[in-house]
Chains A and B, each alone.
Chain A
Amino acid sequence: MPTPYLQIFKTTVKEYSAYRLNFVLWRLRMFLNLLLNFFLWTAVFDKRLSFGAYSKDSMISYILYASLISTFVMGSRTAEIGAFINDGTIINILLKPISFFKYYFARDLTDKVMNIVFALLELGLVLWLFKATIILPQQPFLFFLFFVNGIFIAFFINLLLSFIGFWTPEIWAPRFLFTMLVFFISGSYFPLNILPSVIYHLLLITPFPYLFYLPTQMLIGHVDWRLVYLQFAISCVWVFLLYGVAMSVWKRGNKTFSFWGR
C-alpha cells in the first residue's frame, strides 16, 4: 500500500483500540450468531443425510466459510459517513488532497482485517470444540474473482447508503433495510440454492448473491458450470454499475449539499 493508505490503516487500528470493549462485544455477538447457525444445521442433519444438494459436511462448510467471507466482504466504516455529512465533519476529509473513495476503502480494509483476524480464531474454536469437519478450499481462482467483486459491490452499496445523508438526515432506515435484506437473501444462514429455483434465479439478478454467497460456493467447490460465466458477468456489471452510480451520487451530493453550520 502507498504510504497515505497504510497510515490511514494504522490510524484506524488505533481508533479501534480506543474502543476495545465495543469491538470485543461485537465479535462475541458474531460468534454467538455463528454458533447458533452451526447448531441449527447440525440438528437438521441429525435425522437426515442430505438437504437438497448438500451433505452435512458441505452444509457445515458452507455456513462456516460464508460467515468468514461475509465478515470480510461486509466489514465497513462507511456507516459513519452519513453522520459526518450531517454534522459537517466530512469537510475535514473533503479538504484533504486525497481521493475520498480511496480514503474510505483504506478505512474499510482496516475494519475487514481486524474482523477477519478474530473471525479466523472463532472459526478455529468451533472446529476444535465441536470437531466439525470442513471441506478444504477449492477453486481458489474463481473464488478470488468473485470475492474481489463482492468486496467492491458491498463497498459501493455501503457508500450509497451513506450518501443518502446528503438528502435526508434519516440515514438509518435505508441501512437497516439493507442489513435485513443481506440477512435473508445474501446467504448468511443458508445457501441460496436451497430456495425454490425460480426465486433463486431471480435473486441472481440482484447484487445480493454476489456479496458472499457465490464466493463461498466457489470455495466449497459448488460451481454451477452452466451458469458460472454468466454469474461472473453479472457480478462485474454490478461492480461497474454501482461504481458509476456511487460516483455520480457523490458528485451530485457535493454540489447540492449545503454543509451545515458556522
Chain B
Amino acid sequence: MITVKNLTKIYQVHTRQKNFFLDVFARQYKEIHALNNISFDIGEDELVGFIGPNGAGKTTTLKILSGILYPTSGMVSVMNTTPFEKNIRFLKQIAFVMGQRNQLIWDLSTRDSLQLQKTIYEINDEDFKKNVGELTELLDANDLLDKPVKTLSLGQRMKMELVVGLLHRPKIIFFDEPTIGLDIFSQEAIRNFIKSYQSETKATIILTSHYLEDVKRLAKRLIIIHNGSIVYDGSLSNIVEQYTVEKRVVVTLDKMVNDTELRGIGVPYTLSYPKVTFLIKKGFLPEKIKHITQSLPFSDLTVEDESIEEIIKTFFKEHHGSSHT
C-alpha cells in the first residue's frame, strides 16, 4: 500500500530581503532538514500510530505521502503511484484530515460542502445518502449538518470535517492530530469513530497525535520519529513490554493498616483509604505481590501498566537523553 525508501526532505526556507526585486531575482535560502533518509512499509488495512516530539517531521511525512510536498530525494509509492503526480485515481482514494486546518466552506453549512464534495468525487445519490447517514450516525452529529460552519464549536467542526473528508470512502487516510484541542468526551468520540470506521472499511490509516491514548487505543503498530529519523518501528505491545520500568499495583484494603505495615512493602505512591497504590519495578513484581497477599488484608488487587506517556518518556531517555514526547 505505502512504501517509503530513503526519503529525505530538506525545506528551502527563503530568507526575506529588503526589497521585492531582490526577493524575486536574487533569493537567499536557509536549509532545514525535516526528514533524513527514512524508510518504512505499510500494508493494507494497517492502522499505524505515528508519533514524535514537535518538529520531528510527522506532518512533513504525511504531506509527502498525500502528494502535497515534493520530496528532496528518495522513493515514495502509495497504491503503486507517485503521490506528487496527484493523478485523479490516487486522489479519489485518499483523505488527509488535519485537526488544525479545515476544508469546510467557512460561511456555508456542512451540507453545502458535502454537495460540492459529492460532485467532485463523483459519488452517486445512493452512496451519498448512505455514507452521509453512516458517518453522521457514527459521530452522532445529524443535527449539525445544516448549521453554518463558522457557528460550530471546535469539536463539532472536527466531526463535520470527518463527515466531509471521508464521504468518498477513502482507502488510505492520513489523520494529523485529529483530536487536538478537544475535550475528553470528543476525543473519545473521534477515537471510537476512527476505530469503527477502520474495522468497517478496512482502510489503511496513519495517525499522528500527541495524545498517546489515541495511539494506544487505536494502533497496533507504532512508528516513532525524532529529528527527522525513525527511531522505532514495531508493535505497540513490544515497546510497552520493553520500556515498562514499573507497574502500578492498586490494592483496595479491607481495613486500616498502619504505616509500617505498608512500608514493609514499599513507599505508597498514593494512599487514600481504602485504596493504596504502589509503583513496583517490573522485576520485583511476583515477589512483591506475594508479600502483599501475605501481609495486607485486601478485597481487591489490580496490576496496571504504566501510562503510555511514561513509557515513551523512558524510551526517549534511553535512546536520546531527551525526555519529551
Binding site for B on A (CB under 8 A): 3-4, 6-8, 10-11, 14-15, 18-19, 88-89, 91-92, 94-98, 167-168, 170, 173, 254-256, 258-259, 261-262
> When A97-B92, A170-B20 are in contact, do A88 and B101 touch as well, CB less than 8 Å?
yes
Query: Complex formed: what's the CA distance from A126 to B100 in Å?
Result: 50
Determine the distance from Cα of A168 to Cα of B119 in the docked complex, in whole angstroms: 34
Chain A residues near B14: list those with CB within 8 A.
167
The B interface, classified by DSSP as helix, strand, loop or mixed, is: mixed
A91 touches B68 (CB 8 A): yes
CA distance A88 to B176 in the complex (A): 15
Look across to chain B and name the residue whose beta carbon is closest to the beta carbon of A6: B119
Give 23 CB contacts A-B under 8 Å: A6-B119, A8-B116, A10-B115, A11-B116, A15-B108, A18-B108, A91-B96, A94-B86, A95-B66, A95-B67, A95-B86, A95-B91, A95-B96, A96-B91, A97-B89, A97-B91, A97-B92, A173-B20, A255-B70, A258-B11, A258-B12, A262-B59, A262-B176
Nearest 3 pairs of A and B residues by beta carbon: A97-B91, A18-B107, A7-B119
B98 lies within 8 A of A262 (CB): yes
B residues less than 8 Å from A15 (CB atoms): 105, 107-108
CB of B103 closer than 8 Å to a CB of A = yes
Q: A3-B119, A96-B120, A173-B20 are in contact. Are A254 and B70 (CB under 8 A)?
A: yes
Q: Which residues of A contact B119 (CB under 8 A)?
A: 3-4, 6-7
Give me 16 other A-B pairs in contact (C-beta within 8 A), A4-B122, A259-B63 excluded: A4-B119, A7-B116, A10-B115, A11-B112, A11-B116, A15-B107, A91-B68, A91-B101, A92-B101, A96-B91, A97-B88, A97-B121, A167-B14, A167-B23, A167-B24, A259-B69
Min CB distance A76 to B, Å, is 19
Q: Which residue of A lies closest to B103 (CB)?
A: A92
Q: Say yes or no: A168-B108 contact (C-beta < 8 A), given A11-B115, A254-B70, A255-B70.
A: no
**A72-B119 Cα distance, complex, nearest whole Å:** 26
**Considering the chains assembled together, what is the distance between the CA atoms of A254 and B69 in angstroms?**
8
- Bound: A19/B14 CA distance, A: 36
Pair B98/A7 contact, Cβ less than 8 Å: no
Nearest A residue to B19, CB-CB: A170
A4 to B121 Cα, complex, angstroms: 8
Instruction: Name B's A-contacting residues (CB within 8 A).
Output: 11-14, 20, 23-24, 27, 59, 63, 66-70, 86, 88-89, 91-92, 94, 96, 98, 100-101, 103, 105, 107-108, 112, 115-116, 118-122, 176-177
CA distance A104 to B179 in the complex (A): 32
**Max chain B C-beta neighbours (<10 A), residue from A95, A167, A258:** A258
Task: Decide if B120 touches A262 in the complex (CB within 8 Å).
Answer: no
Chain A residues in 8 Å Cβ range of B96 = 91, 95
Taken together as a complex, chains A and B put the C-alpha atoms of A91 and B68 apart, in Å, by 7
Q: How far is the CA of A262 from the CA of B176 in the complex (A)?
A: 9
Chain B positions within 8 Å of A256 at CB level: 12, 70
When C-beta atoms are compared, the residue in chain B nearest to A14 turns out to be B108
CA distance A262 to B20 in the complex (A): 27
**Most B C-beta atoms less than 10 A away, residue of A88, A89, A259, A262:** A262
Return B110 CB to nearest CB of chain A, in Å.
12
Min CB distance A241 to B, Å, is 20
Are the C-beta atoms of A7 and B23 separated by less than 8 Å?
A: no
In the complex where A15-B105, A94-B68 touch, is A168 in contact with B23 (Cβ < 8 A)? yes
Q: How far is the CB of A176 from chain B (nearest CB, A)?
A: 12
CB-based contact A11/B105 at 8 Å: yes
Complex Cα–Cα for A19 and B108 (A): 11
User: With A and B bound together, what is the CA distance between A7 and B116 in angstroms?
Assistant: 6
CB neighbours of A259 from chain B (8 A): 63, 68-69
Bound Cα distance from A173 to B121, whole angstroms:
37
Decide if A168 touches B20 in the complex (CB within 8 Å). yes
Complex CA–CA separation, A85 to B57 (angstroms): 21
Q: In the bound complex, how far is the Cα of B66 from the Cα of A91, in angstroms?
A: 10
- Whether B91 contacts A7 by the Cβ 8 Å rule is no
How far does the alpha carbon of A254 sit from the alpha carbon of B70 in the complex, in Å?
Answer: 8
Q: Which residues of B contact A95 (CB under 8 A)?
A: 66-68, 86, 91, 94, 96
